[in-house]
Amino acid sequence: MLLKIPDLLSADEVAYCRKVLLAAQWTDGSVTAGYQSTKTKNNLQLPEQSVEAKELGDIVMGALARSNLFMSGALPAKIFPPLFNCYQGGQSFGIHVDNAIRQVPGTPVKIRTDLSMTLFFSDPEDYDGGELIIEDTYGSHSVKLPAGSMVLYPSSSLHKVTPVTRGRRLASFFWLQSMVNSDERRTLLFELDSSIQSLREKVSDSPEIVRLTGVYHNLLRQWAQT
């Protein structure tokens, strides 16, 4: 499932994050690439342990915690600390698949990457190119969202970032381990939860809605791994 989450960050949060990112010191983005990705990755990255990365990471994590859409679609168990990158001057990231396991720096914690996320800090009109291309069984999907919006997609997907030929593309990228590791099951749960919420907006609680809610939680109880 590919899920777009609009306005994850407020306008003020976007403006502040962008200000910090524009003033930051960047390093070669290949430092977090796997063996295969290193051959195709050409971008800049905020050092993981920098003050700026930790501060902005806290802002992003706070936004995730208040997003019901994110919680419903991702069912997060563990979230890798957000990373931040910059593409400019023709930089790109060729077709690749994200590493299956990520270790949180400085800790023994390992995260299975079920879902990948890209949160945009630059508006589409600020740069040319820089589309995130995600391939799945239904073809290729081009994603280039407004600043403050995020896309969530299976980490098993082949994906790439096209060359940025004008301007600068600033974004956060990171991964999570879901309580439900099957994309098909997560999709079913998300569709069921979305339908229940929609019904609740149209009618008051009814025995049918209560039963559907029970079905949702009983399926989650069977499928969740915590």
Paired with 44 in beta bridges are 28, 86
171 near 88, Cβ under 8 Å? Answer: no
Q: Which helix (H) or strand (E) holds 179?
A: none
Ligand-binding site membership of 96 (annotated): yes
Ligand-binding site membership of 141 (annotated): no
Paired with 169 in beta bridges are 87
Paired with 87 in beta bridges are 169
3 state SS of 57: helix
175 near 144, Cβ under 8 Å? Answer: no
Largest CA distance in the chain: 59
41 near 55, Cβ under 8 Å? Answer: no
Residue carrying structure tokens 């994603």 = 143
Closest CA to 41 of 127, 169, 163: 163
56 near 23, Cβ under 8 Å? Answer: no
Residues contacting 211, CB < 8 A, separation 6+: none
Cα–Cα distance for residue pair 79/76, rounded to 1 Å: 7
Ligand-binding site membership of 169 (annotated): yes
Residues tagged in the binding site annotation for Fe cation: 96, 98, 159
- Which segments are annotated as binding site? 96, 98, 159, 169
> Binding site for 2-oxoglutarate: residue ranges?
169
